[in-house]
Amino acid sequence: MHGKLNYLDFEIARQKSLDLVNQTTFKEIIPISDAIGRVLSKDVICVKNLPAFNNSAMDGFAIKFSDAGKTLSINKVIFAGDKGEKVEPTLKENECYKIMTGAKVPFDADTIIPIENCFDVTQNSVKIPIEIKKGSNLRLKGEEQKEGSVILKKGEKITSSFITLLASQGLIKIEVYKKISIAVLSTGNEIKEPWEYADDEEIYNCNSYALISLLKEKDFDATYCGVIPDNLEESKTYIKDLKNYDVIISTGGISMGDADFVGEAFLQNGLEVAFHGVNIKPGRPIMMGKMQNTVVICLPGNPLTAMVNIYLFALPMLKKLQGETSINHGFIKAINQKEFKTKAGRVNVVLGKVQNGEFFVTRDNKYGSGMITVLYESNSILVTNEQTSNINQNQEIKLLEFNGKFFEENIDILN
């Protein structure tokens, strides 16, 4: 672990991280009221046509299109919820129905005219305008979704708009993938928990809480498993007890320091390293691999680095493991507002704030990976390719927002 790190190409590292996992096979059935953020483990098939019957989109009159311009007698009034005899076709010559929004339209009417577009409306009759469109305001049975069609796809993450569709089908339970289990650890003798006393030489553990919160924002549950002391033997035992988790995420102790033996402790527990070291700033020492069935993600200790790296490298892989199909970062386009420099020869991650399509780089891109406040000051990142040394003012750029969307397509996010 102490040899010079071989810095892997960014895209190769991203691909290797994805290759480490296959989607979980464990499923469960849960109520739709608890389903937000969960991933569908099978397609949802339409069992009830949408709409279920021909119905009116407006309060008004249901007529035959050929009666445009005529004065018609009102045959009957139909309300939403009327059924059976009340909605049987009963039109005679020069007649129409008065009808309410959502009410079933009998088969002998083909067009709905909103009441405010009609003339001389009385209890018994109405004059229909001459300029009308056949079929207007008539919502046809199955025009939105037909029985048997796929309405929601396996691998999609459930949002509130999914719930509307599920409830429209009379579904109250749904099959989803079980949540993957994630252990989060910190390392380092200098680390104190926020509720402990920390003297001037000690620092508070921010990484674990920050990572668990970021994972929560992305609909993952993570368990905090404590601080591993800077001691190889104790680390080995500690890690051995975590093999029941699907994923272990640690921060710190993976660079070149004499106390950086977290990697060694994982290795001695059977870790097969996929890569250790990526040509990116921040995040050069990042390491990923697999320890039997457990995916191991070792993030560098600097809080800024840990957060940016979990976002860039870990989220796509965790999404894949969770069974999601949209696992790739999507970008938004913006215009850079102030020129800044980046270092050619490596991939650079640049923090900034995007607002209404304008990007404001954080602190002129002059900050250290050990800083914490800069994360708070930013809402997005720009990722350069290895050739880029400058981002000009007014240059169109691609940005990943911290709360950005993920897509099935793998698109080029580099600038």
Ligand X SMILES: Nc1nc2c(c(=O)[nH]1)N[C@H]1C(S)=C(S)[C@@H](COP(=O)(O)OP(=O)(O)OC[C@H]3O[C@@H](n4cnc5c(N)ncnc54)[C@H](O)[C@@H]3O)O[C@H]1N2
Count residues contacting ligand MOO (CB under 6 A)?
8
263-302 binders of ligand MOO (CB under 6 A):
281-284, 300, 302
CA dist 42 and 8 (Å) reads 37
Q: In the complex with ligand MOO, which residue's Cβ is closer, 307 or 327?
A: 307
The residues, ordered by sequence, that sit 6+ positions from 112 with a Cβ below 8 Å of its Cβ are 56, 57, 58, 60, 61, 62, 63, 99, 105, 136, 137, 138
Choose which of 9, 82, 175, 190 interacts with ligand X (CB under 6 A).
190
Closest listed residue to residue 266, CA positions, set 280, 281, 253? 253
- Residue 254 near which of ligand X, ligand MOO, none (CB within 5-8 Å, type-dependent): ligand X
Assigned token pair, 275: 């890569």
CB of 324 to ligand X, least distance (A): 28
CB of 265 to ligand X, least distance (A): 13
CB of 346 to ligand X, least distance (A): 11
In Å, the largest CA–CA distance within the chain is 96
Report the residue closest to ligand X, judged by CB: 301
305 binds ligand MOO (CB under 6 A): yes
Helix (H, G, I), strand (E, B) or coil at 101: coil
Residue 144 phi, psi (nearest 5): -90, -50
Residue 94, CA atoms < 13 Å, CB-side half-sphere: 7
CB of 402 to ligand MOO, least distance (A): 18
Q: In the complex with ligand X, which residue's Cβ is closer, 1 or 115?
A: 1
329-388 binders of ligand MOO (CB under 6 A):
369
Q: In the complex with ligand MOO, which residue's Cβ is closer, 70 or 281?
A: 281
CB of 4 to ligand X, least distance (A): 8
Choose which of 31, 135, 257, 345 interacts with ligand X (CB under 6 A).
257
CB of 271 to ligand X, least distance (A): 16
For the window 198-227, what string marks contact with ligand X as x by the rule CB under 6 A? -----x-xxxx-------------------
CA dist 112 and 135 (Å) reads 7
294-333 binders of ligand X (CB under 6 A):
300-303, 305
- Residue 205 near which of ligand X, ligand MOO, none (CB within 5-8 Å, type-dependent): ligand X
DSSP β-bridge partners for residue 174: 30
The H or E element that residue 98 is part of is strand 95-99
Q: What is the DSSP string of 210-249?
A: HHHHHHHHTT--EEEEEEE-S-HHHHHHHHHTTTTSSEEE
CA dist 399 and 413 (Å) reads 8
251 binds ligand X (CB under 6 A): yes
The H or E element that residue 76 is part of is strand 71-78
The residues, ordered by sequence, that sit 6+ positions from 231 with a Cβ below 8 Å of its Cβ are none
CB of 224 to ligand X, least distance (A): 11
Choose which of 370, 373, 393, 396 interacts with ligand X (CB under 6 A).
370
CA dist 8 and 16 (Å) reads 10
- Residue 190 near which of ligand X, ligand MOO, none (CB within 5-8 Å, type-dependent): ligand X
Cβ contact 181:223 at 8 Å: yes
CB of 296 to ligand X, least distance (A): 14
Q: In the complex with ligand MOO, which residue's Cβ is closer, 315 or 347?
A: 347
Q: In the complex with ligand MOO, which residue's Cβ is closer, 127 or 284?
A: 284
Residue with tokens 């320091």: 257
- Residue 186 near which of ligand X, ligand MOO, none (CB within 5-8 Å, type-dependent): ligand X
Q: What angle do CA 9, 15, 17 make, to 5 degrees?
A: 100
Count residues contacting ligand X (CB under 6 A)?
28
Q: Which residues bind ligand MOO (CB under 6 A)?
A: 281-284, 300, 302, 305, 369
Q: Which residues bind ligand X (CB under 6 A)?
A: 186-188, 190-191, 203, 205-208, 251-257, 260, 282, 284-285, 300-303, 305, 369-370
